[in-house]
Amino acid sequence: MTTLKQKTLINFKKSQSLMAKIIKMLEADEYCINIMQQNLAAIGLLKAAHQMLMEGHLNSCFKNAMATKNEKRKHDMTEEILTVTKLFDK
């Protein structure tokens, strides 16, 4: 596993831990602002993980696809990136 993937995994595990904490906070009827702050922290971790995944993909799969002479593969790979980018912005 690459260092980038290890960092990504750490972010997912941290966000998983935060989600468990947020659920407990909701169940305990804690103050809304405190819950929202934890939620934003989890969102930040997930966004960072997404960026790391994208970086790894661009530097490996995408780069390899662009180096081939297979135009369909290049087109498909580009479309995948555009689709994921559009979904991220929603």
Tokens, residue 6: 């290890």
Quick one: pLDDT at residue 8?
97
Mean pLDDT of the 57-67 span: 95
Quick one: pLDDT at residue 10?
98
Does pTM surpass 0.95? no
Quick one: pLDDT at residue 90?
77
Q: What is the pLDDT of residues 18-59, one digit of tens each?
A: 999 999 999 999 999 999 999 999 999 999 999 999 999 999
Q: What is the domain partition of the chain in residue ranges?
A: 3-88
**CA–CA gap between residue 75 and residue 79 (Å, rounded):** 6
**Top-level class of domain 3-88:** mainly alpha
Q: How far is CA 67 from the centre of its chain?
A: 25
The single-letter code of the amino acid at 72 is K
**CA–CA gap between residue 38 and residue 21 (Å, rounded):** 8
In 3D, which of 81, 88, 83 has the Cα closest to residue 49?
Answer: 88
